């Protein structure tokens, strides 16, 4: 059972992350960009990259599968990604060295047998200049760690999409090997690569990283909402609601709302992600 006071006081080591244009291309390839070798909107990220997608912030100065690799007391075999949000303070460089020190900012007990939520955050800065590039917040659903006590409270839920046809829409086919490529950008959770680990976690086969789904939605949003300009996106919030199997087709619907754009990503009738972008 996890100790919330211990987690809130937990000290992560500083992460120094040098990366190159090759890494930026590898991240985009992990999303499946380049599946259409004639699509300039994809090639600009995977061939002599002109820019980095805003969602690439999630893999910069990333602490890896820290639920398992650091002494947190969390049952790492039952951790799944719940939510992710990014706020961009500047356009991400195609190459550079960034630094961040993650911290745990909240622990929510959903009750015995219902799991817990562990929320972590990191500010990513350019090492050379100190420029803040992005703030990334991650929520892990720790399915085996509920029942430790604390005041009962619910985590905030995203607003449902407007009850009208989407204002914009786009689809993107994932590739069967997407998770195997995406994990090379720093998320080695075996749930996404090892069939035995996936079955131990309650899935029939390895599933796609939630952050890969988020990156795909980000690319579709940049393309259809922001005229292909990644610097025009300054924030993105995403809740993962169902797994994606590599090889499935993700359909993205977008609605214009006062705070920017609201989105829903689906595979068939299955909603896999909800969120906002702006």
CATH classification at residue 23: 3.10.129.10
Tell me the pLDDT tens digit for each residue of 48-90: 998 999 999 999 999 877 777 778 878 877 777 889 999 999 9
CA end-to-end span of the chain? 38
- The interaxial angle of helices 21-31 and 210-225, nearest 10 deg, is 100
Please identify which of the residues 23, 109, 187, 237 carries the catalytic annotation.
187
Listed range (19-23, 156-160, 177-181, 245-249) with the worst mean pLDDT: 156-160
Residue 91: per-residue pLDDT: 96
Tell me the pLDDT tens digit for each residue of 152-171: 566 667 778 999 999 999 99
- Domain of 30, in residue numbers: 4-277
**Length of the chain as a residue count:** 278
Active site residue 81: no
* Contact in structure between 25 and 46 (CB atoms under 8 Å): yes
- How many domains would you assign to the chain? 1
Please identify which of the residues 192, 219, 223, 237 carries the catalytic annotation.
192
Active site residue 89: no
Give 139's pLDDT tier (boundaries 50, 70, 90).
very high
């Amino acid at each position: 059972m996890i100790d919330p006071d211990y987690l809130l006081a937990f000290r992560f080591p500083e992460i120094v992350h040098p990366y190159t244009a090759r890494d930026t291309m590898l991240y985009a390839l992990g999303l499946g960009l380049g599946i259409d070798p004639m699509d300039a909107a994809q090639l600009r990220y995977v061939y002599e990259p002109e820019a980095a997608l805003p969602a690439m912030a999630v893999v910069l100065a990333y602490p890896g599968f820290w639920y398992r690799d650091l002494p947190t007391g969390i049952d790492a075999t039952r951790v799944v990604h719940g939510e992710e949000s990014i706020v961009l303070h500047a356009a991400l460089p195609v190459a550079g060295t960034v630094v961040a020190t993650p911290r745990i900012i909240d622990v929510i007990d959903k009750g015995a047998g219902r799991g817990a939520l562990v929320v972590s955050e990191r500010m990513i800065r350019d090492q050379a200049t100190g420029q803040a590039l992005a703030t990334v917040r991650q929520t892990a659903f720790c399915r085996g760690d509920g029942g430790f006590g604390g005041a009962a409270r619910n985590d905030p839920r995203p607003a449902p999409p407007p009850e009208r046809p989407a204002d914009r829409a786009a689809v993107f086919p994932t590739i069967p090997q997407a998770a195997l490529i995406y994990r090379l950008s720093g998320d080695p959770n075996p749930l996404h690569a090892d069939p035995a680990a996936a079955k131990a976690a309650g899935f029939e086969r390895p599933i796609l990283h939630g952050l890969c789904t988020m990156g795909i939605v980000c690319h579709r949003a940049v393309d259809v909402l922001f005229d292909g300009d990644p610097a025009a996106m300054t924030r993105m919030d995403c809740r993962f609601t169902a797994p994606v199997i590599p090889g499935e087709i993700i359909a993205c619907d977008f609605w214009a709302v006062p705070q920017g754009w609201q989105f829903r990503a689906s595979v068939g009738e299955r909603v896999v992600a909800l969120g906002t972008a702006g």
